[in-house]
Structure 1
Amino acid sequence: MVDRKTDSGLPGALVGRVAELEALTAHAEAAQRGRSGVVVLSGPAGIGKTSLLRAFLDGDACRKMTVLHGVCGEVVAGAGYGGVRALFGGLGLSAEDAQDSPLLRGSARRALPALSPHPGEEGPSTAVYPVLHGLYWLAANLMAQGPLVLVLDDVHWCDERSLRWIDFLLRRADQLPLLVVLAQRTEAEPVAPAALADILAQPRSSVIRLHPLTRTEVAEMARRVFAAPVALSFAERAAAVCRGNPLTVTRLLRELRAKGVSPDESGIREIAEVGQYVVAMSVRALFDARPGWVRDVATAIAVLGEEDPEHIGALAGVPAARVAEAVDLLRGVEVMAPDRADLAHDVVRSAVLDATGEEPLAELRARAALLLSDAGRPAEEVANQVLLVPGTPQPWMGWVLREAAAQAEHRGAPEAAARYLYRVLEAEPDSLSAHVPLAKALAEINPAEAIRLLRRALSLATDIRTKAPIAVQFGLTCLTVQQSPTAVRVLSEVLDELEAALGPDPDPRDRELRTLVQSTLLISGSDEKATIHTVRERFARISEPAGDTPAQRQMLAMMTVLSAMEGRSVRRAVGQARRALSSSDRLDNWSLLFSAFTLGLADEVEGAMGALDHALRQGQDNAAVWSYVITLSYRALLMHGFGAIPDALADAQTAVEIIADERWSGNVTMPQTALATILIDRGEPERAEELLATVTRPNLEGFVMEYHWYLMARARARWALGDSSGALRLLFDCGASLEESGFANPAFLPWWAEAACVLAAEKRADEAGDLVEHGAELARRWSTPRAFGLAALARGVTTPGEAGIARLTEAVEHFSGSPARAEHARAEFLLGGALLDIGRPRDARERLRSAVDLAQGCGALALAKDARNRLVAAGGRMREITASPVDLLTGTERKVAQMASSGAGNREIAESLFVTVRTVETHLTSVYRKLSVSQRGELASVLSTPRLPDPQAPAWVSASRGRR
């Protein structure tokens, strides 16, 4: 029991809270040992949460920790990152400190938009993830100095974006010295209930519910107030009337003492008279007994919160000197808090505001907003007052709300921007300038509502030049909720209308607008099988743009995908991709990714890898984690296809590890598919199937790209596990779906060659005739060495005797001139097996030995072991295929080790890979153990161990090895 007057000014407020204080202390001590956690203090107003928090923060446990303590309020409930600023405001961080402050080093500088009271309004808006990422690293920097406790009181008033950051932080806080404590009023509806529920759902969360005081505890409080013996019946009645609420009990006891009531049987009648509304009654009595300007000052403080005396006085109509006098008087009667220029409690604030009346209070809030606006306060501060003004906003308020929305957008706080803009929409229900920005704010957090608003905006727009950008926004928003057919229909209609209005020779500005709509139509329509044919037919009639502008380059990048899908002219597709990448300006991620995809299919490895590396750097620079993960996953698939399997494994496993901490992980499939594809070649098909079973994306079968990668990975896993019939079924499903999509490129998931190999292995080669001819025709049209090699391979495995040997030899020759090193190894393996089958063991051993060398060199361990076993069966001699120490590393360990060997520190590695420093430390510890090294300086020599000669390795592979 804490027997002292707490900072709240209420004697004995912590009576009965010993267990709760001990529980908080235990959580703090656990955090100091690296066991992070979140504690929610829950109970009705006045139950003692704030007093308990103050006692906890004054305790010994918190003296050993960095403490950030903030209080949320109704006035700032709608702000973007208002709770974050309440926590971090005391650190005084600003953009001017970014170069010098150790707290803002590295990615932590991205936190500045959330921390600044005046977020920048120049340049593009800040995306959500970079700010979350920056705030995480700001907290990590604080934890590097020692254990950290974040305490946020009245969290029911906390804005959604701040709560989303706390959730983001906690999901990355495993083994970090962090404790988060949130205090919540149970009877108050939270501003962001879903975000608060997500925090409570954290596995490391716990709830401490503060229960009403017992009659014994009320008796103890009464003894302290009256300094006299207390009848148990008196305490029991007080507890019942006040429902055990410490704040109400204390106020009641004070009122009774002031009235001269004795704490015995005679005083019981007085308890009922004062009753449970003692706070409101005491406030009214206080105002009735004081001059009117005292009430006016208290009311102004209740409206404005902690504010300059000048502004309090201006709102109250009282001179500044009188404000100070009123504050002293209010503090003396415990209406004001003892340690800050605000009212003592939210219950007191409610009592003061209730005494004002609804209409006067609404007028007062409007005056407060105007006062802050005239004082030059940030638009968000003014708008937070406007949000509390009932009724339709006045015209000047609309301007403030729009300005506040722009500031919230620049903070990366779309929920706050939407709150402000919804009030604008109330006043201007037919305004485009209300619908379009609101839809933009909602695009990420509530895309269905954004689409509804954009439909309305399209109906309101009368000019096609105004309508076209809205249609672009509509199309891109539809992509996020898998509504490609709707997007294609709307964009097609707008494009028809735009082309009719612009005529055959529009000016450059209109031409760029048209190209923007066209490229968005291509992006929207190329995503799903239901729309791909529509856009393909439309763009067959459109001439290629020159690629001189951003929209034209994006258009070219999308057109190159269509060309690659057709599989007819590799020269045309490559030319389009190169022009799309030709600018020295910053390229968007769509252009980089799609151009790389086409160049990869054309075996243009250097260009494809260069575009992907560019996209990855942009993702790191912008903390654009979704783009980074998708690009990393595709690069893994590309490197797998070119036989750089260890590097592919590193990329794929890193992508899977990153999405583990993201709430949108259920809507991506490429990381899991890429890793599964690589694990099969590493000899781990069981793990591959387990990973593919975690894919849950809705309507997966409707996608043009992702579905087919997924099907091919499942088919190859089934075959590796001995289920040839299951593998064939999946391969034929893949072929049928590709045909439905119009995908005719032989280098993109050659299901027909894979199926031919399965049929041949099952002695059903006679069933593969149509497949072989299909593949040969596709290869003839695309005309790359890899395509020809695949066609020859399919024909060779299904043709008996010397004729089959000739075809397989042809396949080896084609693959040797391509970057497809793993396919080259497989062709050598199949050729060796065929030679052995017709009684030519010496020739077979030569080919099988080559297959082992090639497979081992590119990391295809399963194939290397199969080839070695077949070699031994053919009379050859070779040691068992054993993994080198480097091969024992997981993909993420390999990536971390590579970065560490090049001189990157743990923090730099963590920031680059969007993981925690502790994760990097864990990986490095494992790397040291597996490689038998004791320090990072030894990594470079171990990782650069010479491999088997591999003359077919592309130049970028050789270069990457040289850097290790």
Structure 2
Amino acid sequence: MNVPDRADGEGHGRPRRGGPVLADLPLLERDREQAVLSAVIGELRSGRPAVVTVTGEPGAGQGELLRWAARHATERGLRVLTARATPAERDLRYGVVGQLLAGHEEFAGHLPHLLLGQGGPGRFPGLTRLLTVARDRPVLLVVEDVHQLDPDSLRWLEALIRRLPRTPLAVLTGGIRTADLGLDWCAGSPLTGSATTVELALPGLTRAGTADAVRAVCGTLGDRSFVAAVADATGGNPTVVRDTLRRFARAGHPPDAGHVEHARAIAAQVIGEHAAAALDGVRDPVALGVLRALAVCDDLLDFPLVLALAGPGALPETRLRAALLDSGLVTVRDGRFRVRGPVARARVIEEMPAAERADLYARAAELAHRAAADDQGVGDLLLPARPVGAPWAVDTLCRAAAAALRGGRRDRAAAYLSRALTEPLSEETRIRVLLRLARIELVIAPVAAGRRMGGIIREPGEVAAAFRARAGDLCLLGGDTDTTWRALAEFLVGGPGSDGARGAPSDPGPAEAATARHEEITALFRVAQPLRRASAEIAFPLAPDLPLVSRNPAVNGVRAWEAAVRGDDREEARGRARAALAPDPSGRPPLTVPRLLACHTLLLTEDGEEAETHLCALLAEAHRERCSVTVARVLALRAELHLRHGRPDSAARDLAAADLELPPDSRHPLSYPYWTTLGILTDLANDRPERARAAAGRPVPSPAEESVSGAQLLFARGLLARADDDPHRARSLFRACGRWLLQHGWTNPALLPWRSQAAEAAHALGDAAQALRLAREELELAERWGTPGAIGAAQLCLATMRGEDRLQRLRAAVDSLGRAPSRAAYTRAIVALASVENGGPDRATPVAAPVTGGAGTGNAGPPGTAVRRPRVSVPPQPLADIPVLALRSLSPGERAAAALAVRGFANREIAAALSVTTRTVELRLSGVYRKLRIRGRDDLRALVQGTEDD
């Protein structure tokens, strides 16, 4: 028999004229199958028997296709006998045979035998009469849902098929069972002899077929994304597609991209209803139990283990497999039984009573654990299960959480750990799990994480004492300074004895361990105090003083930071910072916040390389522990280091990496100013003012503005106002920043040089007295701190406001900044000095260079830019010694470019320093070479060196 092949391509199966109509919808993309059945009917008229089996998943359209064939055969003059097997007639003998013969006079005498069950062994009521009738007029037998046949009707049909070779009779059946698990007549065995045997497996609709269905039901072409969503959500199942589109069309929505989610929701609802209807048809309690076990285990357990989970049953495994397939809810994939799709799986599980469901999940988890299944698979079974009460459950859930974190599934990891807390736990294990959960929640639910860690800090008892400081450390890293301050303050009200004088029996001794823990709590409280927002509530007592001499890294880290923010003893700050970063002699695990403060202190003492080494070590440690908030904080501080050392591109990369670890939407509201400030400074340094303006304009929670972090944001907004040439707003913002910092005793200009920035704004506004006062005050504080960068920046600021000693101030600024990591201030000093010495205007014009800084654990830094330069120990001479006539021919822009080129700056760096394009720098240097009659940079340097030697 010649059967036309299914056409390839998206156009296959489309109606030939116009478009599909609603009447054609059940037979959409069934052209090939219709052609096959037409050929079978044509050959049957010629006396050739046939056996045709139509299979497919539930809803594939087997019934519609069989009914079409019955109509087609009737129109061709054939006798058609139809029947449909149902679950209700599975126990009725010859139920389907009775349907086939009922209503036909030729078989009226055989119906009593069928109804009374009088057919004995080897007797098939009505079969001989059917064969006789077929010889007079060809007969087509159509049986729907053949997988539901009662045993006697099944044997009757098999007997009929064995007698087909010499009879003009065709048997057309439809069902959901595949050939290798179905009926023997499907394979073309010798039972059928010379009869034609065909098996038609109905596929789902293609994207093109789904598009036709959308057009037929909705009356218009569907958007491509809408069609794709419907095809994916329904799996191309024709019945599901039809029902979904009809409900969607009744809602009156157009099939466009804006209603994709609505279509998905309707598809899920339709699939669920079909699954519920199929579930109602599962009558056998053993099959139902196995079906529920399959739904719970999915593909985690092999079928024999699923049977063991479901419990003993009376059905043989062969019949049980058939019953599962007959339900339409189970399919075979890669040789394994699985419930069809997540929606059907969820519906099977939802139909169970809650207690029975929780118990089944618990038993499934235990069985999977014994079978050495994957940790996350066992963890998924434990999530909805009742408490198991066994140690393996908590261990498995913790391992599953670690695996989920490695895969970037933080929500899942948090769910595993939350489930672990419902098991019976020892006090120590419970707190450890709480800390692991809080570490994850700092990224996905920061406010909840703060409450959780605040509870650990407040928790009494000796066991909690060992974890209290760790909880406070994490809480500070997450930015919840309010919760940290309150919880630590409530604990400290009780004094050192609140840790328990007995302590834990460990080395170095119970008393020393308790003292060390109390010192850590005190140190963290002193950090949280200036960072928290102002409050009118009842104040707790101030934190106790830290010991002046201590080997505790937390004490040394906080002491170093306090000395740095005061700006009064650089050597003490440096020494304590290095002690904080050394291993703890007692072997206690170090806290992160004090070490970050120590690294920040080294950054302020201009020991940048040493700070960067320690930051890289902290970053590696945070990655090992998979603590995203720690990784983000370390990257943020390293971004500030890059800004201070003139590497804004590296700062932007670190900040982008921090955003991946701790997304902006996942940060605690109180930390918004910290991150916003760092983003603004980085964008300004990378010449992205529009992005910086957008960040500065975003709203910040009001409590967050009333803190030192809010002062950082004021400073960054002041820089933005200065870049926008708005000195009034800039001065107001810088002075507001200063008021907040002074309120908390932060006077070091290396943190935030707000005085010099406010002085420049006041000078631009003509307020010379205020400008001089602020500039002198900053220079005095910078000299007290003693770092070359802070001193040089203050000298440069003062030099732009005084006339009598400007040249000496500029030379001193160049000398100081030449030994500092700040790039922008050094460049400004060189250009200003060159302008004064070469007869420029009386007032040195500062170069517009971005002022950058960072916000480590509560501060920002002095000016810096992305210009790279060779380090020098003495101030290089500008172009003053080049012959005067030649020098006068250079424009101010050419003189500035030449001065920087002599000192080794690349064209890109000169462009950044002078706020011009690289092409402009190239043109200016070309003009310099032409006017001085030299060939390039080497000749320029030689010319300057020669005049110096003279």
- TM-score, normalising length from structure 2? 0.55
Following TM superposition, by how much is the alpha carbon of 1:657 offset from its aligned partner in structure 2, in angstroms?
A: 4.6
Alpha-carbon distance between aligned partners in 1 of 2:338 and 2:809, rounded to the nearest angstrom = 86
Written as runs of structure 1 = structure 2, the 5 A alignment for 1:142-181 is none
Q: Verify: 1:731 aligned to 2:743, yes or no.
A: no
Q: Which residue of 1 aligns with 2:337?
A: 341
Q: Which residue of 2 aligns with 1:517?
A: 521
Secondary structure of 1:337's counterpart equals: strand
Q: Which residue of 2 aligns with 1:774?
A: 777
Q: Which residue of 2 aligns with 1:403?
A: 395
Evaluate the alpha carbon distance shift between residue 362 and residue 714 of structure 1 in structure 2; reply closer, same or farther with a 3 A threshold: closer
Q: Which residue of 2 aligns with 1:311?
A: 305
Written as runs of structure 1 = structure 2, the 5 A alignment for 1:812-961 is 812-830=814-832, 858=868, 875=888, 877-878=890-891, 880=894, 886=908
- From 547, 566, 578, give the equivalent of 1:542: 547
Evaluate the alpha carbon distance shift between residue 496 and residue 774 of structure 1 in structure 2; reply closer, same or farther with a 3 A threshold: farther
Conserved? CA contact 2:643–2:866, under 8 Å: no
- From 57, 60, 64, give the equivalent of 1:8: 57
Alpha-carbon distance between aligned partners in 1 of 2:747 and 2:354, rounded to the nearest angstrom = 69
Name which structure has the greater RCO, CA cutoff 8 Å, separation 6+: 1
Q: Verify: 1:327 aligned to 2:327, yes or no.
A: no
Q: Verify: 1:741 aligned to 2:744, yes or no.
A: yes
- From 294, 306, 327, give the equivalent of 1:301: 294
Conserved? CA contact 1:9–1:337, under 8 Å: no
Q: Which residue of 1 aligns with 2:578?
A: 578
Following TM superposition, by how much is the alpha carbon of 1:476 offset from its aligned partner in structure 2, in angstroms?
A: 2.5
Conserved? CA contact 2:749–2:790, under 8 Å: yes
Conserved? CA contact 1:398–1:424, under 8 Å: no
Residues 592-650 of structure 1 show CA distances to partners (whole Å, capped at 9, x for unaligned) of 543332122222233234334545666778887765555455445444445x3xxx221
Return the letter of the residue paired with 1:441: L
Question: Superposition RMSD on alpha carbons, in Å?
Answer: 5.7
Following TM superposition, by how much is the alpha carbon of 1:780 offset from its aligned partner in structure 2, in angstroms?
A: 3.9
Return the letter of the residue paired with 1:311: L
Secondary structure of 2:766's counterpart equals: coil
Written as runs of structure 1 = structure 2, the 5 A alignment for 1:366-377 is 366-375=362-371, 377=373
Q: Which residue of 2 aligns with 1:200?
A: none
Residues 397-418 of structure 1 show CA distances to partners (whole Å, capped at 9, x for unaligned) of 3645423431233222554455
The higher radius of gyration belongs to 2
Following TM superposition, by how much is the alpha carbon of 1:738 offset from its aligned partner in structure 2, in angstroms?
A: 1.3
Return the letter of the residue paired with 2:817: F
Secondary structure of 1:342's counterpart equals: strand
Alpha-carbon distance between aligned partners in 2 of 1:471 and 1:813, rounded to the nearest angstrom = 45
Written as runs of structure 1 = structure 2, the 5 A alignment for 1:487-526 is 487-493=487-493, 496-498=496-498, 501=501, 509-525=513-529
Residues 935-964 of structure 1 show CA distances to partners (whole Å, capped at 9, x for unaligned) of xxxxxxxxxx999989xxxxxxxxxxxxxx
Q: Which residue of 1 aligns with 2:602?
A: 599
- From 517, 528, 532, give the equivalent of 1:528: 532
Q: Which residue of 1 aligns with 2:471?
A: 473
Alpha-carbon distance between aligned partners in 1 of 2:380 and 2:264, rounded to the nearest angstrom = 31
Return the letter of the residue paired with 2:782: A
Return the letter of the residue paired with 2:607: E
Q: Which residue of 1 aligns with 2:144?
A: none
Conserved? CA contact 1:386–1:397, under 8 Å: no
Alpha-carbon distance between aligned partners in 2 of 1:711 and 1:722, rounded to the nearest angstrom = 16
Following TM superposition, by how much is the alpha carbon of 1:728 offset from its aligned partner in structure 2, in angstroms?
A: 1.1
Alpha-carbon distance between aligned partners in 2 of 1:709 and 1:890, rounded to the nearest angstrom = 25
Conserved? CA contact 2:389–2:423, under 8 Å: no
- From 774, 789, 802, give the equivalent of 2:792: 789
Return the letter of the residue paired with 2:578: R
Alpha-carbon distance between aligned partners in 2 of 1:774 and 1:587, rounded to the nearest angstrom = 38
Alpha-carbon distance between aligned partners in 1 of 2:626 and 2:310, rounded to the nearest angstrom = 47
- TM-score, normalising length from structure 1? 0.55
Evaluate the alpha carbon distance shift between residue 623 and residue 382 of structure 1 in structure 2; reply closer, same or farther with a 3 A threshold: closer
Evaluate the alpha carbon distance shift between residue 10 and residue 449 of structure 1 in structure 2; reply closer, same or farther with a 3 A threshold: same
Secondary structure of 1:565's counterpart equals: helix
Conserved? CA contact 2:824–2:865, under 8 Å: yes
Unaligned runs of 5+ residues in structure 2 are: 1-27, 34-53, 63-201, 215-223, 249-256, 848-863, 871-877, 898-904, 923-936, 943-950
Evaluate the alpha carbon distance shift between residue 687 and residue 480 of structure 1 in structure 2; reply closer, same or farther with a 3 A threshold: closer
Q: Which residue of 1 aligns with 2:445?
A: 446
Alpha-carbon distance between aligned partners in 1 of 2:827 and 2:455, rounded to the nearest angstrom = 58
Alpha-carbon distance between aligned partners in 2 of 1:556 and 1:519, rounded to the nearest angstrom = 9
- Report the more deviating stretch, 783-792 or 356-365: 356-365
Evaluate the alpha carbon distance shift between residue 948 and residue 543 of structure 1 in structure 2; reply closer, same or farther with a 3 A threshold: farther
Following TM superposition, by how much is the alpha carbon of 1:723 offset from its aligned partner in structure 2, in angstroms?
A: 1.6
Conserved? CA contact 1:708–1:738, under 8 Å: yes
Conserved? CA contact 1:715–1:727, under 8 Å: yes
Alpha-carbon distance between aligned partners in 1 of 2:239 and 2:639, rounded to the nearest angstrom = 50
Residues 441-488 of structure 1 show CA distances to partners (whole Å, capped at 9, x for unaligned) of 1432334444445555566x5524534514641562364444243244
Q: Verify: 1:437 aligned to 2:486, yes or no.
A: no
Q: Which residue of 2 aligns with 1:935?
A: none
- Using the aligned pairs only, state the percent identity: 20
Unaligned runs of 5+ residues in structure 1 are: 27-35, 56-182, 188-202, 214-242, 252-276, 547-551, 849-853, 861-866, 892-926, 932-944, 951-964
Alpha-carbon distance between aligned partners in 2 of 1:244 and 1:530, rounded to the nearest angstrom = 52
Alpha-carbon distance between aligned partners in 2 of 1:797 and 1:434, rounded to the nearest angstrom = 62
- From 456, 461, 464, give the equivalent of 1:463: 461
Evaluate the alpha carbon distance shift between residue 53 and residue 633 of structure 1 in structure 2; reply closer, same or farther with a 3 A threshold: farther
Alpha-carbon distance between aligned partners in 2 of 1:685 and 1:741, rounded to the nearest angstrom = 31
Conserved? CA contact 2:457–2:472, under 8 Å: no
Alpha-carbon distance between aligned partners in 2 of 1:353 and 1:588, rounded to the nearest angstrom = 46
Following TM superposition, by how much is the alpha carbon of 1:568 offset from its aligned partner in structure 2, in angstroms?
A: 0.9
Evaluate the alpha carbon distance shift between residue 731 and residue 54 of structure 1 in structure 2; reply closer, same or farther with a 3 A threshold: same
Q: Verify: 1:209 aligned to 2:300, yes or no.
A: no
Alpha-carbon distance between aligned partners in 2 of 1:382 and 1:18, rounded to the nearest angstrom = 36
Alpha-carbon distance between aligned partners in 2 of 1:39 and 1:774, rounded to the nearest angstrom = 70
Written as runs of structure 1 = structure 2, the 5 A alignment for 1:43-442 is 48-49=234-235, 51=237, 207=261, 209=263, 278-284=277-283, 287=284, 293-294=286-287, 296-306=289-299, 307-318=301-312, 322-332=316-326, 334-339=328-333, 340-344=336-340, 364-375=360-371, 377=373, 381=377, 384-385=380-381, 387-389=383-385, 393=386, 396-397=388-389, 399-411=391-403, 412=405, 415-416=411-412, 418-419=414-415, 434=430, 437-438=433-434, 440-442=436-438
Return the letter of the residue paired with 1:578: R
Conserved? CA contact 2:418–2:437, under 8 Å: no
Evaluate the alpha carbon distance shift between residue 512 and residue 833 of structure 1 in structure 2; reply closer, same or farther with a 3 A threshold: same
Alpha-carbon distance between aligned partners in 2 of 1:831 and 1:355, rounded to the nearest angstrom = 83
- Aligned residues between the structures: 651
Return the letter of the residue paired with 1:553: P
